[in-house]
Structure 1
Amino acid sequence: MSASDAVDFALAAYREEGVWQVAELTHDHAVDVETLASALRRFPGDGGAVGLVAVDEDFFIVVRVAGQQTRVMLSDVTAATEWELAASVVEYLGLPVVDEDVDDPEPAGDLELLSDLGVNAMDLASILDDDELYPDEMLSEVARGLGFGSLFDDTVGLTSA
């Protein structure tokens, strides 16, 4: 299975005149941080665009672009040992390669990247600490905190709770 086949979904979310919009990205956009950031820059959002990518029910990344600035968060740094997309986040962040013997999922990157939009680092950490949730459900919680939970759920096919 190629890396792009393992992508559960890749979305761009952005606000246009204060209203959240969600657009699907092709899985080919979710191969590395730079390709995803480049795809996100096409969206006209007020304050940039947010990319939400879930992979193989294993991990997710959030990428936020505003102009030339790119901010990134990886839900589980240990995914970098198995997935090229996660490894590209670790490389982008300049972090050391994770030891393959490490099993504890730990987030990496900028937990504050959505703070000004309504999901601060503590909220994000709380969502990430819930080991009962799959990545799509965690991102649904993030989307709900940002104000577009129903739109997110409809786009990815989650049933609202």
Structure 2
Amino acid sequence: MTASGTAIESVDFALAAYREEGVWQVAELTPDHATDVETLSAALRRFPGDGGAVGLVAVDEDFFVVVRVAGARTRVMLSDVTAATEWELAAVVVEHLGLPPVDDDDEPEPAGDLELLSDLGVDAMDLAAILDDDELYPDEMLSEIARGLGFGDLFDDVVGLTSA
């Protein structure tokens, strides 16, 4: 699988969220921004947000990635490490995080910085609770995260979810 082929076609959505003068803004990114952490980070740095920007990428209703940039700092969280056995983006995130290669015997679990949204209103415990809900698809998990951050309705409108 190449980043220019199936991976881009499998991106459900890629969004940037940022606060400008205290008000959340949500902008769609193109799927080719979601090929790796560096490309996504570069795209997020274009946004003028107070305290940086947050990238939300969902892939094939299977997993999601949250990337937060603030200045030169990039923080990353992957919803399920086992996605790295099937998806190039997840494998790139695992490599970026410096984790050992994932194999088929590994248990599904999140990886990376679970505190990356704590100062915005979703701490590691909240994030873990959302990730533990086996009933939710990645877009629904991201909707819950967006709701906790304060832009749930904006998120739902952009990705086409009906508001809860």
1:101 CA drift (Å): 2.5
Any residues of structure 2 matched to 1:11-160 within 5 Å, and which? 11-102=15-106, 104-160=107-163
Give, in whole Å, the separation in 2 of the partners of 1:89 and 1:37: 12
Between the two proteins, what is the percent identity of the paired residues?
86
Name the SS for the 2:6 alignment partner: coil
Give, in whole Å, the separation in 1 of the partners of 2:95 and 2:73: 17
Name the SS for the 1:97 alignment partner: coil
1:105 CA drift (Å): 1.3
Name the SS for the 1:65 alignment partner: strand
RMSD: 0.7
Amino acid at match of 1:22: V
1:158 CA drift (Å): 0.1
Q: Please identify runs of 4+ aligned residues in structure 1 that moved more than 4 A.
A: none
Amino acid at match of 2:108: P
Unmatched 5+ stretches in structure 2:
none
Amino acid at match of 2:43: A
Give, in whole Å, the separation in 1 of the partners of 2:69 and 2:120: 13
1:100 CA drift (Å): 1.7
Give, in whole Å, the separation in 2 of the partners of 1:83 and 1:150: 29
Give, in whole Å, the separation in 1 of the partners of 2:142 and 2:108: 16
1:61 CA drift (Å): 0.4
1:12 CA drift (Å): 0.1
Give, in whole Å, the separation in 2 of the partners of 1:52 and 1:96: 24
1:77 CA drift (Å): 0.3
Name the SS for the 1:2 alignment partner: helix
Name the SS for the 2:51 alignment partner: coil
Give, in whole Å, the separation in 2 of the partners of 1:99 and 1:83: 12
Tell me the TM-score normalized by structure 1.
0.98
